[in-house]
Structure 1
Amino acid sequence: MRYEELTGLVQNRAGLPDRQSAERILRAVLETLGERIPDGLADHVAAQLPGEAAVSLRRAGLSHEGSPEERAYRREHGERFDLTGFAGRVAWRARTSEERGLEEAAAVFEVLDSAVSPELSERLYHALPHDIRELMPEGRVTGR
């Protein structure tokens, strides 16, 4: 899938007025997701996305904040935050309200679900806490 197709799908599913708005929410969700999931999983998801989207997802793994132990933990497990933290980070990055950010994030998750393999979508689903999983579509994978 090309980046233009990805952002077009996000724009359509989220009901956004223009491509720039779609790019803004896509980047916000991918950067926040990249902070929440382990680096290895982020790398696998990024490998199935267009380069521009992959950069946003991997950006979190480039953080040099914290002690070496804290950075190692984040690389292995991702940062620990719930839906409230997710909503705040997405809203701040996308320059929108938390409520609207979550609505648009659900559209991004729907597009991601169709952009990556079912197995990878399932791994992503299980890497997230229950409340953030609620943003994901019922998906193509059984057992959800």
Structure 2
Amino acid sequence: MRHDDFIGQVQARARLDSRGAAEAATRASLETLAERIPPALAEHLAAQLPREIGEHLRRVATAPDLPATGIRMTNEQFFARVSERSGADLPKAVHEARCVVEVTDEATVGSLTDKVKDALDDELADVLFAGSSGR
């Protein structure tokens, strides 16, 4: 999937009014996800996404000045971080993050998103992957 297609899908599914808002939602969701999953898994996921999209995962997974990865956080903490990064209110941030994960699932091959799901707490995985195919 190309960058423009990815962002267009996020924009359409999340019903965002601009590509900029879709970019912000994608960045916020993937940066927060990268904080939550192991660095090697973030890198594998990034490698299957368009370069510009994958950089959101890589930036957090490899940056020494950003929070550590594999951080345990509640649903509320996860989505509060997405909300803070994207500027969306909390309910909208939850919806946008789910849309980003859904498009990410479709943009990758194999069982990679299953590994991401397995790296998350069950409750967070259930919320984030509710709309995904669950391959």
Alpha carbon RMSD of aligned pairs, Å? Answer: 1.7
**In 2, distance between residues paired with 1:91 and 1:118?**
30
Calculate the TM-score normalised by the size of structure 2: 0.91
CA offsets per residue over residues 71-117 of structure 1, 9 Å max, x none?
5xx4xxx1111211111110000011111100111111110110111
TM-aligned CA deviation for residue 62 of structure 1? 2.8
Is the contact between residue 118 and residue 140 of structure 1 (CA under 8 Å) also seen in structure 2? no
Distance in 2 separating the partners of 1:45 and 1:84? 24
Aligned counterpart for 2:124 among listed residues 115, 132, 143: 132
1:29 maps to 29
Q: Which residue of 1 aligns with 2:59?
A: 59
Q: Which residue of 1 aligns with 2:106?
A: 114
Choose 1 or 2 for highest CA Rg: 1
Are the aligned partners of 2:28 and 2:86 in contact in 1 as well (CA < 8 Å)? yes
**Structure 1: segments with no counterpart, 5+ residues:** none
The answer to whether the aligner puts 1:105 opposite 2:109 as a matched pair is no
**Is this contact kept in 1: 2:105–2:132, CA < 8 A?**
no
Counterpart of 1:6 in structure 2 is 6
Report the Cα distance in structure 2 between the residues aligned to 1:57 and 1:65, rounded to whole angstroms: 15
Give the aligned length.
133
2:65, 2:31 → 1: CA distance?
A: 16
After TM superposition, the runs of 4+ consecutive aligned structure 1 residues lying more than 6 A away are none
Taking only the aligned residue pairs, the percentage that are identical comes to 38
Point out where structure 2 has 5 or more consecutive residues left out of the alignment.
none
Query: Given residue 120 of structure 1, which amino acid in structure 2 is its aligned partner?
Result: L
Q: What is the deviation of 1:121?
A: 1.3
Whether the 8 Å CA contact 2:101–2:132 is kept in 1: the answer is no
CA distance in 2, matches of 1:84, 1:140: 23
| TM, length-normalised to structure 1 | 0.86
Shift of residue 140, structure 1, vs aligned partner? 4.2
